[in-house]
Structure 1
Amino acid sequence: MGERPGEATNDIEWARDVWSSVRCAGVLLALLLLADWGSGRFTCRRAGLWLALAGLLFAVLYPARVSAGEGWLSSRRLLGERRVRTDLLVSVRCLDGVSPRLLLRDAFGGHVEIDPEVLVTHPRLWHRLDEGARKSAASGTLLCGATDLLRLSQRVERETARAVFKVSGLE
């Protein structure tokens, strides 16, 4: 995989996603200030309100930074980090909805909720999670979620093969 066994793997598109969040919040702020200025209602109080609204949008859009290493996976957000031991997983659940989520729980009560798309687009992160999940299954701690992991594994393999074919011109 091109990395040492003890080395951590990160979501390589995280910085780009942060800049997208900054741009969205900045555009909203600029449009609100421009509309206020154009209507003649611009005041410092309203500007502060628009700044707070843009800050709230940034906080909502701020992406989680997913990292994985040998036996662990973490998700860092604005207000903190959650970490789970992948070699001691107890359950894995796919939560469907508007925004699909993957919920991982370990034997120590730790839990991490991540977007499965991060694992699909970054096979190194998936490899770290899969490696730990296999150890959990072999030791008997993984009580539920093997089917969800299998489905995700098939999706990751399909997308990785598609990317290899596309790069090699065989698509």
Structure 2
Amino acid sequence: MDRSTSPSPVGDRHWRGSARLATGCALAFGTMTTLVDWDAGTLTPARALLWLALSAALFAVLLPPRVTAEPGRLTVRGPLHRRVVHTDALVSVRQYEGASSHLVLQDAHGHCLELDPRVLTANPLLWHELDTGARRSRRRGTLHQGTDVLARLGHRIDDETAEAVLRASGLT
């Protein structure tokens, strides 16, 4: 397919708001700590550098990974790494529950990525791209583990979408 006619990637529609929140928290932390240190008369260049480094670390921790999807491909970009998995060549899908639930997707090329399932729930277009690729993987016979995980996730996304439609229409 020609690059000029390829569809643009679908992204997490809430990522920019989360990135702004991370930026605001890091700036507020850096500003407040510097002002308190300055007001106490203990601000030195080394301490200002310390507050700057801590603010940057806070930003890196709070910044969520950016999830994008194209036909046959799912990409997760964090502050330090970029992971890509081919959804039309998936081998396994695992979901880990607990304090931070996450999906682990692995493809036939050895690529692996982790993803928060709430991103898929909040972004039906991302879910559609993943589901379409997983269906191709099943047809090709590469997806050996995780069809039940995808089915449960699909039902949950469908239920939440239907509930949102009913709520928006005033029927609930």
On whether the aligned pair clears a TM of 0.5, the verdict is: yes
Matches within 5 A, 1:16-165: 16-165=17-166
Separation in 2, partners of 1:6, 1:42:
52
The Cα shift of 1:79 comes to 2.3
CA contact (8 A) 1:5 1:70 kept: no
Structure 2 SS opposite 1:133: helix
Structure 2 SS opposite 1:157: helix
Deviation per CA, 1:102-124, whole angstroms, max 9, x where unpaired?
11000001112111101000001
The Cα shift of 1:6 comes to 3.7
Separation in 2, partners of 1:53, 1:98:
25
Structure 2, unmatched stretches of 5+, are none
Separation in 2, partners of 1:6, 1:35:
50
The size of the alignment, in residue pairs, is 168
Give aligned-pair identity as a percent.
45
The Cα shift of 1:35 comes to 2.0
Partner amino acid, structure 1, of 2:131: D
Separation in 2, partners of 1:84, 1:18:
23
TM-score normalized by the length of structure 1: 0.92
Partner amino acid, structure 1, of 2:29: L
Q: CA RMSD in A?
A: 1.5
Separation in 1, partners of 2:7, 2:50:
47
Match of 1:170 in 2: 171
The Cα shift of 1:158 comes to 1.0
TM-score normalized by the length of structure 2: 0.92
Q: After alignment, is 133-142 or 32-41 more displaced?
A: 32-41
Which stretches of structure 1, 4 residues or longer, exceed 3 Å deviation after superposition? Answer: 4-7
